[in-house]
Amino acid sequence: MSVWSQTAGKWFKWRRKSGMRMDMTQKVLIVFLSLFGLFMLLPLIYIFNHALKPYSELFIFPPNIFVREPTLSNFTELFVVTRDSVIPATRYLFNSVMVAGLGTAAVVITSALCAYPLAKHKFPGHQFLFGMIVISLMFVQEAVNIPRYVVVANLGLMNTYWAHILPHVASTMGVFLMKQFMEQVPNELIEAGKIDGAREITIFMRIIIPVTMPAAATVAILSFQSIWGDISTSTLFMQDDAMKTFPFFLTTITQNLANSVARQTAAAAAALIMFLPSLIMFLFFQRKVIATMAHSGIK
């Protein structure tokens, strides 16, 4: 009996010590991750503070991360000073919002429509077709600019919103992500829908789309960031300045500013405006993105 008591006592002591070590390890890990998270927030803190700095703080050395005397005059300079120009900054911003919103919706819809038959309808040559889609990732943007220009010009879409949107609709990454996620949807769900008399469009809208919303949110974030920051369509397809986007306007006001003081505050405000929509988009869909990564390995 005494031997059992001694053994039990040693076991409980070992459990208490191991529990204390685990608690200490967890605390150290929490502190380390918290400090690392604060470090990762520094670029966000800097871009917000930089947009609120007056001229006197933009050029001090060494530069400060935090603004001492915040001001909104930078945004006033950006929008009020350019108000009397031929094309105001608000016009470029409206074009970007319109193109990014419609383009993102078009990418998500077309990617889902393309991925569904590749994932759930094993038609002859589906693997070859998917392989060709994946191979298109090898081509850099410069290699397809000339074919894109020829297509857009022959379709008569120059100086239109369609010229901004259509080059982004065929998203290889969007099709790939949607297909990989749709393949994890059980075929029994589709078969049950067919037994109940559901048509193909009903199965797609009522079963596939709700289940694959995390992947759709991920595609939406990636597409929005790509379209929102793109200047190639404004450069290649737009001769009318009123049809160009805000990123193109940002490049025009920041060119040759390395040794210039003029419009540095306007450029800082414009950089924040360029960054905010992507941040809001990510924060709005971040749970869906995490769900996509969590289910990426589940079969």
CATH number at residue 291: 1.10.3720.10
Average pLDDT of the chain to the nearest whole number: 79
To 10 degrees, the CA torsion angle through 124, 106, 274, 178? -30
Of 213, 271, 226, 6, residue with least CA distance to 99: 226
Q: How confident is the model at residue 142, as a pLDDT?
A: 78
Q: What is the pTM of this model?
A: 0.77
State whether 136 and 32 are in the same domain: no
State whether 129 and 160 are in the same domain: yes
Average pLDDT over residues 147-171: 89
Average pLDDT over residues 30-53: 83
Cβ within 8 Å of residue 296, ≥6 positions away: 180, 181
State whether 6 and 124 are in the same domain: no
Q: Give the least confident one: 11-20, 67-76, 223-232.
A: 11-20
Average pLDDT over residues 250-273: 70
Distance CA 150, CA 162 (A): 14
> Per residue in 230-248, pLDDT tens?
888 888 898 888 899 988 8
Residue 107 has pLDDT above 90, yes or no: yes
Q: How confident is the model at residue 291, as a pLDDT?
A: 57
State whether 49 and 152 are in the same domain: no
Residue 37 has pLDDT above 70, yes or no: yes
Cβ within 8 Å of residue 73, ≥6 positions away: 54, 265
Residue 117 has pLDDT above 80, yes or no: yes
C-beta of residue 268 within 8 angstroms of C-beta of residue 77? no
State whether 28 and 169 are in the same domain: no
Average pLDDT over residues 190-215: 85
Of 93, 20, 79, 116, residue with least CA distance to 266: 79
State whether 60 and 90 are in the same domain: no
At 182, the pLDDT band (50, 70, 90 cuts) reads confident
State whether 58 and 145 are in the same domain: no
State whether 66 and 134 are in the same domain: no
The residue range of the domain holding 8 is: 1-40
State whether 238 and 271 are in the same domain: yes
Distance CA 291, CA 279 (A): 18
**Could you give the number of structural domains in the chain?**
3
State whether 278 and 190 are in the same domain: yes
State whether 32 and 50 are in the same domain: no
C-beta of residue 148 within 8 angstroms of C-beta of residue 170? no
Domain boundary among 31, 51, 71: 71
Residue 18 has pLDDT above 60, yes or no: no
State whether 99 and 135 are in the same domain: yes
Residue 260 has pLDDT above 60, yes or no: no
Q: How confident is the model at residue 5, as a pLDDT?
A: 52
Average pLDDT over residues 21-50: 80
Q: How confident is the model at residue 95, as a pLDDT?
A: 92
